[in-house]
Protein backbone atom coordinates (compact mmCIF):
# COMPACT_ATOMS: atom_id res chain seq x y z
CA UNK A 1 0.00 0.00 0.00
CA UNK A 2 1.29 3.43 -0.96
CA UNK A 3 0.46 6.61 0.86
CA UNK A 4 0.72 9.85 -1.10
CA UNK A 5 -1.22 13.07 -0.62
CA UNK A 6 -3.65 11.46 1.80
CA UNK A 7 -4.61 8.73 -0.74
CA UNK A 8 -3.94 5.09 0.09
CA UNK A 9 -3.69 2.73 -2.90
CA UNK A 10 -5.27 -0.55 -1.81
CA UNK A 11 -5.46 -2.15 -5.24
CA UNK A 12 -8.82 -1.75 -6.98
CA UNK A 13 -10.29 0.94 -4.71
CA UNK A 14 -8.63 4.04 -3.31
CA UNK A 15 -9.54 5.55 0.02
CA UNK A 16 -9.25 9.30 0.47
CA UNK A 17 -8.60 10.28 4.05
CA UNK A 18 -9.29 13.76 5.36
CA UNK A 19 -6.82 14.00 8.22
CA UNK A 20 -8.29 17.25 9.56
CA UNK A 21 -11.80 15.86 10.07
CA UNK A 22 -10.72 12.20 10.50
CA UNK A 23 -13.06 11.07 7.69
CA UNK A 24 -12.50 8.30 5.14
CA UNK A 25 -14.26 8.22 1.75
CA UNK A 26 -14.06 5.66 -1.03
CA UNK A 27 -12.82 6.74 -4.49
CA UNK A 28 -13.58 4.32 -7.34
CA UNK A 29 -10.88 3.78 -9.96
CA UNK A 30 -11.68 4.21 -13.64
CA UNK A 31 -11.78 1.15 -15.92
CA UNK A 32 -13.57 -2.14 -16.32
CA UNK A 33 -14.27 -4.24 -13.25
CA UNK A 34 -12.05 -7.30 -12.82
CA UNK A 35 -13.12 -10.37 -14.81
CA UNK A 36 -14.28 -13.38 -12.83
CA UNK A 37 -13.71 -16.73 -14.53
CA UNK A 38 -16.47 -19.29 -13.93
CA UNK A 39 -16.93 -22.92 -14.93
CA UNK A 40 -19.68 -21.83 -17.35
CA UNK A 41 -17.52 -19.25 -19.13
CA UNK A 42 -14.60 -21.70 -19.28
CA UNK A 43 -16.87 -24.31 -20.91
CA UNK A 44 -18.25 -21.70 -23.33
CA UNK A 45 -14.71 -20.67 -24.36
CA UNK A 46 -13.71 -24.32 -24.86
CA UNK A 47 -16.83 -25.07 -26.94
CA UNK A 48 -16.29 -22.04 -29.17
CA UNK A 49 -12.59 -22.75 -29.53
CA UNK A 50 -13.20 -26.39 -30.55
CA UNK A 51 -15.24 -25.28 -33.56
CA UNK A 52 -12.60 -22.76 -34.66
CA UNK A 53 -14.16 -19.48 -33.51
CA UNK A 54 -11.67 -16.62 -33.65
CA UNK A 55 -10.33 -15.39 -30.31
CA UNK A 56 -11.61 -11.87 -31.05
CA UNK A 57 -15.13 -13.22 -31.53
CA UNK A 58 -15.00 -15.27 -28.33
CA UNK A 59 -13.87 -12.15 -26.43
CA UNK A 60 -16.83 -10.21 -27.90
CA UNK A 61 -19.23 -12.94 -26.80
CA UNK A 62 -17.94 -12.66 -23.23
CA UNK A 63 -17.73 -8.85 -23.37
CA UNK A 64 -14.03 -8.88 -22.47
CA UNK A 65 -10.87 -7.81 -24.27
CA UNK A 66 -8.68 -10.16 -26.30
CA UNK A 67 -5.93 -9.76 -23.67
CA UNK A 68 -8.30 -10.71 -20.84
CA UNK A 69 -9.48 -13.73 -22.81
CA UNK A 70 -5.95 -15.05 -23.31
CA UNK A 71 -5.00 -14.22 -19.72
CA UNK A 72 -7.85 -16.15 -18.07
CA UNK A 73 -8.67 -18.82 -20.69
CA UNK A 74 -5.31 -19.78 -22.23
CA UNK A 75 -5.74 -23.47 -21.35
CA UNK A 76 -9.26 -23.68 -22.82
CA UNK A 77 -8.22 -21.86 -26.00
CA UNK A 78 -5.21 -24.13 -26.57
CA UNK A 79 -7.13 -27.31 -25.74
CA UNK A 80 -9.94 -26.35 -28.12
CA UNK A 81 -7.50 -25.56 -30.95
CA UNK A 82 -5.66 -28.86 -30.46
CA UNK A 83 -8.88 -30.90 -30.35
CA UNK A 84 -10.22 -29.20 -33.50
CA UNK A 85 -6.97 -29.78 -35.42
CA UNK A 86 -6.83 -33.40 -34.27
CA UNK A 87 -10.41 -34.06 -35.41
CA UNK A 88 -9.79 -32.57 -38.85
CA UNK A 89 -6.43 -34.33 -39.20
CA UNK A 90 -8.07 -37.63 -38.24
CA UNK A 91 -10.73 -37.21 -40.90
CA UNK A 92 -8.13 -36.26 -43.50
CA UNK A 93 -6.00 -39.26 -42.58
CA UNK A 94 -8.97 -41.64 -42.87
CA UNK A 95 -9.91 -40.21 -46.29
CA UNK A 96 -6.29 -40.60 -47.45
CA UNK A 97 -6.26 -44.24 -46.28
CA UNK A 98 -9.50 -44.87 -48.19
CA UNK A 99 -7.83 -43.74 -51.41
CA UNK A 100 -8.97 -40.13 -51.76
CA UNK A 101 -6.22 -38.76 -54.04
CA UNK A 102 -6.58 -35.12 -52.97
CA UNK A 103 -6.30 -36.10 -49.31
CA UNK A 104 -3.26 -38.26 -50.06
CA UNK A 105 -1.51 -35.43 -51.91
CA UNK A 106 -2.31 -32.89 -49.21
CA UNK A 107 -1.13 -35.24 -46.45
CA UNK A 108 2.14 -36.01 -48.23
CA UNK A 109 2.85 -32.34 -48.99
CA UNK A 110 2.20 -31.17 -45.44
CA UNK A 111 3.36 -34.14 -43.37
CA UNK A 112 6.01 -35.85 -45.53
CA UNK A 113 7.54 -32.69 -47.04
CA UNK A 114 6.71 -33.71 -50.59
CA UNK A 115 6.66 -30.84 -53.05
CA UNK A 116 6.16 -30.07 -56.68
CA UNK A 117 8.82 -27.91 -58.24
CA UNK A 118 8.66 -26.45 -61.70
CA UNK A 119 11.97 -25.32 -63.18
CA UNK A 120 12.29 -23.18 -66.24
CA UNK A 121 15.63 -22.88 -68.01
CA UNK A 122 16.17 -20.20 -70.62
CA UNK A 123 18.72 -20.75 -73.37
CA UNK A 124 19.58 -19.15 -76.62
CA UNK A 125 19.18 -20.63 -80.08
CA UNK A 126 20.17 -24.29 -80.25
CA UNK A 127 20.86 -24.44 -76.49
CA UNK A 128 23.56 -21.79 -76.68
CA UNK A 129 23.82 -19.08 -74.02
CA UNK A 130 21.54 -16.10 -74.39
CA UNK A 131 23.19 -13.13 -76.03
CA UNK A 132 22.35 -9.90 -74.28
CA UNK A 133 22.88 -6.63 -76.06
CA UNK A 134 22.93 -3.58 -73.85
CA UNK A 135 21.81 -0.41 -75.60
CA UNK A 136 22.80 2.71 -73.71
CA UNK A 137 22.24 5.40 -76.32
CA UNK A 138 25.81 6.63 -75.80
CA UNK A 139 28.31 6.06 -78.61
Average pLDDT, the chain: 83
131 domain residue, yes or no: no
Q: Are 60 and 92 found together in one domain?
A: yes
Mean pLDDT lowest among 9-23, 69-83, 113-127? 9-23
Render pLDDT for 12-53 as a digit per residue (tens, 0 to 9).
555 566 666 666 555 556 776 788 999 999 999 999 999 999
Rounded Cα distance, 80 and 69, in Å: 14
Q: Tell me, yes or no, whether 53 and 24 share the same domain.
A: no
The reply to whether 136 falls in a domain is no
| Range of the structural domain that residue 51 is part of | 39-111
Average pLDDT over residues 93-121: 91
Q: Is the pLDDT of residue 104 over 90?
A: yes
Residue 53 covered by a domain: yes
Q: Is 12 in the same domain as 67?
A: no
Q: Total structural domains in the chain? A: 2
Same domain, 45 and 107: yes
**Could you tell me if 43 and 25 lie in one domain?**
no
Asked if residue 23 and residue 43 are part of one domain, the reply reads no
In a domain, 122, yes or no: no
Residue 61 inside a domain? The answer is yes
Nearest to 6 by CA among 30, 25, 29: 25
**Minimum mean pLDDT range among 1-10, 100-109, 114-123:** 1-10
Q: Per residue in 54-65, pLDDT tens? A: 999 999 999 999
pLDDT at residue 2 in the model: 46
Amino acid sequence: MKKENNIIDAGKVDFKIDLANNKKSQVRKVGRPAHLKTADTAQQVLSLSIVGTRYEDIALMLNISHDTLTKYYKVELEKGRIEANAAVAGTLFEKAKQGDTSSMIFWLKTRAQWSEKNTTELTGEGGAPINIKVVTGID
